[in-house]
Chain A
């Protein structure tokens, strides 16, 4: 059995067990959830460490397991990792454990809550592990629906109902458009299989006609794009995250949202290469829309969660830009940003959730001086905000820099705009939030906020440690991503073009510096 099956299996198994535990055993449910997510995390770490030494199977995947499911339709349970998803799965497992840790804030309907949290975790990890398009989609939906229900039941704020409505509508539309694209791809390929490895190989040797490619690509681009809050389909994200319970916001903004990007990189680019090349400029323009427009909106926010939500949407622009560059450096950077941003989003939403629980508000005008009563949380907040502006030393810096370098040759105009958005706009709202929330005089609050105790510090410490680790030693990630990103670039552009070769050289120099 592949370790991936354990990673996906522990949370789902625990969800089934929880269903049979009477609802007054609250501690048991919490411990069970922590245990299952912790076991997933342990296996994920082990897999990440052993990745280099593992046997490489068909299509460059390791730790592969395939079980036929519906043979008449060519559906099989098929999991495996390559350099691109190994980091994402590690990040997902870490965020899931952190999300389970911060769930102490939930006081009602605990049984349903932990059950949904575990199903969501299993779905997320399954989606990133699947090499079968059907299960890829199936697991994603399995994770998506708990999101809606959790926001609806345990969400906060006056906008909760509207937020639930909006996020449900947007994401369902996105998911169904992507599903239509996937089914069309399956039918066009005519292999009667959802096996991604076989489809990739087949479509590399016998590409679809340009007409078919151009017909299917928009389904995938906009379907997946809506799921990643591609501008201008992003408005569900800030409001949704603002109303979501902390763990849901962490898991969705951190991990689940990356599913769309992952789908674009793994499916849309290699399977529809000609169409992808034609759409590059549109993607780049929308990416800059994300970075600039949402950054600008973030500057106007007075609510900390809305600010973080908008900034998280803005960061997604970098991954789209890296993807649009179609260069080795750009795509490597995009994947690095996905991982770094996952950790960062989980960290910031976790912190803001903590602050909300302690102070009862997230209005930056009513907050201030939190560094004094809660030095740990305040410091972590400052560090998270710095990571958000792309300070070197955090993983985000490595990723964003790679994206900007990778996109320079083909999309230089967009890069200038993106860099401006990241460095100037990002710094303005992040630093202003730091000033308003953690510095200055402490306002009158109902009770003095308390700092986190050792146990409640744990999720934040883990996330920060991972951000710093990948920031200081990006090669741990980049060396894993690079060969597989190179494969994807080769599949899209047909050859290792000169730009890519240059990029390789630059990447080597970058490694040497680290």
Chain B
């Protein structure tokens, strides 16, 4: 028993409670600034996480919770994402009618849930931490109570999320019933005897379907565009990055660490899910004019790319998934930061609102362009190297399983389609001949810092992959299947 292992999570939960209390003594005009204080705290925790020793595997609570390189990698990921999202929320505060402190606190609780998922080694902990994320997100998605779209997004997320949770619990019950244990590593040791057990297989399948909801992959992708569009932009950013990463870390743990033998047999299913997600997301994104909706569909496609690395079931694939996800963090958050600032005066998030952005604020225009170029997977930015690693991982398996060649072919088609709509966004910034509103936008300092960080991250991951690649492969190396 080692309670000190969960100090980071406890700190975040404590922060959330502290800000709820602080709200009581903070004058109304200063409440908005609480978000900056929260962001500073999470940033400090991010720095602190580098002093937490996670070079070897330590367990707590009867192997239900683990602190290993993979867990700490994701905790840092979530802390970084949480910090940036909090900064965005401060910028967005004028559009939240009431309860801004609760908005910050709930984000911190969701963050704590995500950090728990990174360490979950047991189906019960996994479910509890996921629910902590999902339930706070129900509230966060519908936080603009005066906007019908936001409420609609909340309800849709609630219904779909509830269904996904129900399926997952159902699946966990089946798994427990057949394997007799909640603990991943116990099931891993028994998995060779369970491979033909249909109750176990059904259970595992239902768990995977539940996780597909979190990462917005086929067959559970349908909520993403509506919820992304309706939610307040910082919540969408948290959904796009945090929630997806929470799903991915659990998928990594389950696919590689619970029953890899079964997954090996299911490779065609994973391939199909990946291919369909890529095609569905990219094809539907073409026609979108709402930026957030476009991000919603593109997030489905990116879930497909990530699954491509998971399906490969090799060390390159696991490390590529981490690399890609990290690049995705900088890329997507840069995009949302621009969205929050540039469309502040507008009620909609229509693409046309970006017209003339490069005259209004060259920094925002550059950041958005870089974000789109990186999402499209073009050098020298992070998205390119991530996709390169993912494709390489899949092609490595092609010799054994030719379906991977087809998967890469589909992914290439997806990339080509995606270039079209990502460039549409760039076009919306630079092309228009008739000038729209050209009043300069003043970018506040915290946003400037965020954008600088994201752009530096995109460039660094794209041009100097050596160091981050070593970190990701070290993190991925703890997955039992890879030994």
Chain A residues within CB distance 8 Å of chain B: 23, 69-73, 75, 109, 112, 138, 141-142, 145, 148-149, 152-153, 164-165, 168-169, 172-173, 176-177, 179-180, 183-184, 186-187
Contacts and interface: CB of A to CB of B under 8 A. Distances in A.
A276 to B, nearest CB: 21
Interface string B8-25: 000000000000000000
B469 A70 contact: yes
B24 to A, nearest CB: 47
Contact of B391 (A70, A164, A173, A180): A180
A278 to B, nearest CB: 21
Which range holds the interface residue count of chain B?
A: 20 to 34
Nearest to A73: B469
Q: A75, A142, A172: which has the most chain B beta carbons within 10 Å? A: A172
Contacts of A23: 362
A112 B378 CA distance: 18
B395 A184 contact: yes
A512 B254 CA distance: 73
Interface string B367-387: 000000100001110001000
Given A73-B469, A187-B396, A142 B380 contact: yes
26 contacts: A70-B465, A70-B469, A75-B465, A112-B430, A138-B379, A142-B380, A145-B378, A148-B423, A149-B430, A152-B431, A153-B431, A168-B419, A169-B419, A169-B420, A172-B415, A173-B416, A176-B412, A176-B416, A177-B412, A179-B388, A180-B391, A180-B395, A180-B412, A183-B392, A184-B398, A187-B399
Name B's interface SS. Answer: helix
A186 B391 CA distance: 12
Contacts of B392: 183, 186-187
Interface in B333-366: 358, 362
Given A165-B420, A180-B409, 14 more contacts: A70-B466, A72-B466, A72-B473, A75-B465, A145-B373, A149-B426, A152-B430, A168-B419, A168-B420, A173-B416, A179-B391, A186-B392, A187-B396, A187-B399
A406 to B, nearest CB: 35
Nearest to B466: A70
Given A168-B423, A176-B415, A183 B391 contact: yes
B317 to A, nearest CB: 13
Given A70-B469, A152-B423, A183-B392, A141 B358 contact: no
A153 B430 contact: yes
B438 to A, nearest CB: 14
B437 interface: no
B282 to A, nearest CB: 13
The majority secondary structure among interface residues of chain A is: helix
A360 B149 CA distance: 50
Nearest to A143: B379
B358 A112 contact: yes
Nearest to B408: A180
B470 interface: yes
B145 interface: no
A126 to B, nearest CB: 11
A30 B419 CA distance: 30
Nearest to A135: B379
Contacts of B416: 169, 172-173, 176
B448 interface: no
A71 B379 contact: no
Interface in B296-329: none
Contacts of A148: 423
